[in-house]
Amino acid sequence: MKVKIEKNKKRNIISEMFSLLAKEMGKLYIVQFIYMGVFFLLLSPFFSAIITNLLQMEGYRYLTQELMPIFFRKPLVIAAIILMFFMVCVCIQYIMLYSFEFIKRSYTNEKISAIMLLFTTGQKYILLLKQSYGRIFLTWIGIALFYNIPVIYLTGKFLPVPKVIIKALSKYPYVSTSFSLLVVLLCIHGFLRFFRLSYILFEGKKEKESRKLSIKLYMKNIWKTMAMWMGNNLLVVGIAILFYLISVLVTIGLLVLFVPNTLKIAVFCTIQEHIYNMILVVVLVLGMNLQITGSVILFYHCSPSQKVYEEEIPQNAFGIKKRILGGALILILGVDLIVTYDTIRNGGSVSLQHFGQICITSHRGDSAAAPENTLPAIESALKSTADYIEIDVQETKDGEVVLMHDDNLLRTTGFYGKVSDMTYKELKNLDAGGWFSKEYTNTKIPTLKEVLKLCKGKKKLNIEIKTGVNMPELEKKVVTLIEKYDFVRQCVVTSVYKESLNKVKELNEDIVTGYILSSAYGRYYLDEEIDFLSMRDSFVNERVIRLAHKYGKEVHVWTVNSERDVIRLSQLGVDNIITDKPDYVRQELYENTGNKIIIELLRVFL
């Protein structure tokens, strides 16, 4: 079949562009959003696993801002980054080519099979790379960046990893100037090659010829081209703002209906991060389609060639290809679902999970709302906006691992005696909640098994081992339970006893360990058995954090409950705040990152 692509110069360019966007574009957006969703969900864990393994090979657990200049100079790391960059480029180029093909066929009133076009686009992508000996790959990268300048800006502004990298680079002289110059060069490159892909895809021109023709056509229509590009970018930014406002209003509506008053602002702060991610995907897909649609229509309106370009459309029976494509899609979606479920159920990579963000740990469960280290306190903490729940564990006389902070039971049960001197059956008869309030009278001391079952797939745990001379098997029992309930990626183990952490690492080196320091002295950041330092807030200073981060270790701080301390510690750059008031700290952190106006508006509205 021959498809004729003819020009229509009588219609207004803008009206024709929006007419084309409204015509059959629902198919395009649905396919692209599915594609981008699969792309992010599949590649994110893959990239995270690469970085995590490289960190472990170099002897680090966490990637910190201070460590980045050292880590990213390693030859193997550079090779891995090039590989990841190449994979991202291929995925984006593929979806760009798909958009060009879809828009071209929609423009010529050709019947479109959005799913089958994914297959033929792949064939065409490989053919283009072969014909240009791969040179078009670099051209395509420049054009993709040029099309997605709003996405690049939003990525650097709101996403944690790029935001931290940009912040780190901004400390070096001339980085801002160099970046501005790079953007200018990118725009010049993009405008001069604005029509290059259209010449290659729609008129079958060779690479060199398409470059010359694109420059010539751009110079003749310079103001139209720049106006089209700028107008599309402004439209994308406007839609992003509108989408954000709608998301905020919908979120507020849901908060009013379903969330208690004390949690509304904290929950909104948590949801806000996910809204930014959604906006990024929407802006990426929408902005790219707008720019491609504008360039296609502008090309057909402005191209001096009167030649009718004919493209052969294969008429083969697609039975086998459909089966292959269907099988591939089912396989990809299956893997995607498994990876997603595994990440939700067992946690993601510790190394990059909260890169650039301060995590919050709820101290001894939600100890401000319910008796510490009890199931009511754990259940309350699960409803909070905390990232981790901290608990303390000890071993009974008959070998059961239970939750208890103090060596003596007197403070929380009224019974004078040690956990290690009693059996679990005897402990079950004690009241661990009456001291807090009458509401919690007869609350029992829970086992670690019960807590692991309750928190599985919901929250991460910070398990502090309270070992002693009568608990020689405590570390082994804790590790066994962590492995039994698949909690290795969903917990960290801490202790004031270095020997306990050594035992944990010997039993399972994948478990993240934190050393609870009683002072700020010592070179603990050099110890390979320690993955992070847990310190009292009064010990923390800039030097301690800088040294810990330099050697790939995080700094967790306890017990922080005041606004002044939250602000001070966030400015110092701590990685985790352990607190009795997780929702309050979440709110204070959000205000401290420049969202105070939004918080005040929420307070008025709610």
Which residue would you say has higher pLDDT here, 275 or 434? 434
Active-site hit among 189, 301, 363, 549: 363
Whether 466 has a pLDDT exceeding 60, the answer reads yes
Residue 496 is given by DSSP the state S
Q: From the CA atom positions of the chain, what is the Rg in Å?
A: 29
Across the range 154-173, mean pLDDT stands at 71
- Over residues 516-534, the mean pLDDT reads 81
Tell me, what DSSP letter sits at residue 393?
E
Q: How far apart are CA 283 and CA 243, in angstroms?
A: 10
Give the dihedral sign, CA 317/323/328/332.
Answer: positive
pLDDT in tens, 46-73: 777 788 888 888 888 887 777 888 888 8
State the pLDDT at residue 124.
80
Give the pairing type, strands 554-558 and 309-312. unpaired
Amino acid letter for position 244: Y
Q: Can you give the pLDDT at residue 59?
A: 81
Q: Is 354 a catalytic site residue?
A: no
What is the token pair recorded at 69?
A: 């200049």
Query: Shortest CA distance to 359 belongs to which of 563, 156, 160, 518?
Result: 160
- 465 has a pLDDT exceeding 50: yes
CB atoms closer than 10 angstroms to residue 131: 14
Q: How confident is the model at residue 469 (pLDDT cuts 50, 70, 90)?
A: low
pLDDT value, residue 149: 82
Q: What's the pLDDT score for residue 268?
A: 80
Higher pLDDT, 264 or 416: 416
Q: Would you call 556 a catalytic residue per the annotation?
A: no
The span from the CA of 604 to the CA of 606, in Å, is 6
| 383-to-12, 182, 443 alpha-carbon distances in Å | 55, 46, 19
E strand spans, 200-254: none
pLDDT for the residue numbered 339: 62
Q: Give the pLDDT confidence of 408-435 residue by residue, as tens digits.
A: 999 999 999 999 999 999 999 999 999 9
**pLDDT of 169 over the 60 cut:** yes
Whether 580 shows a pLDDT value over 70: the answer reads yes
Q: Model-level pTM?
A: 0.80
Dihedral pair phi/psi, residue 514, rounded to 5°: -130, 130
**Which pLDDT score is estimated for 274?**
75
Pairing mode of beta strands 576-579, 359-362? parallel
Give per-residue pLDDT as tens, 351-400: 555 666 889 999 999 999 999 999 999 999 999 989 999 999 999 999 99
Cα 491 from Cα 448, distance rounded (Å): 13
pLDDT of res. 120: 78
Q: 370 or 81: which carries more pLDDT confidence?
A: 370
**pLDDT at site 308:** 42
CA 369 to chain centre: 31
Q: Are strands 359-362 and 388-395 parallel, antiparallel or unpaired?
A: parallel
The answer on pLDDT for 224 being more than 80 is: yes
Predicted confidence at residue 581, as pLDDT, reads 93
pLDDT at residue number 235: 86
> What span, in angstroms and rounded, lies between the C-alpha atoms of 346 and 490?
6
CA–CA gap between residue 362 and residue 580 (Å, rounded): 6
Of 126-130, 142-146, 310-314, 503-507, least confident by mean pLDDT is: 310-314
The helix-helix angle for 264-302 and 25-57 (nearest 10°) equals 120
349, pLDDT greater than 90: no
Note the pLDDT of residue 348. 62
* CB distance 32 to 95 below 8 Å: yes
Does the pLDDT at position 109 exceed 60? yes
* pLDDT, position 477: 96
CA distance 404 to 423: 14
Dist. CA 208–CA 558, nearest whole Å: 63
Please enumerate in sequence order all residues whose Cβ is within 8 A of that of 143, keeping only pairs 6 or more positions apart, or say none: 96, 190, 193, 196, 197
Which residues on neighbouring strands pair with residue 495, listed in sequence order? 515
CA-CA distance, 41 to 47, in Å (whole number)?
Answer: 11
Nearest-angstrom CA–CA distance, 498 and 493: 12
One-letter amino acid of 358: I
Alpha-carbon distances, residue 477 vs 60, 418, 483, 504, 507 (angstroms): 26, 19, 10, 10, 10
Distances (CA, A) of 83 to 47, 87, 339, 454: 10, 6, 21, 40
Tokens encoding 81: 């980054």
The tokens 């609350």 sit on which residue? 443
- Look at residues 455, 461, 449 and name the one whose alpha carbon lies nearest to residue 396: 449
pLDDT at 107 over 70: yes
pLDDT tens digit sequence for 547-564: 898 888 999 999 999 989
Angle at 297 (CA atoms; ends 308, 89), nearest 5 degrees: 105
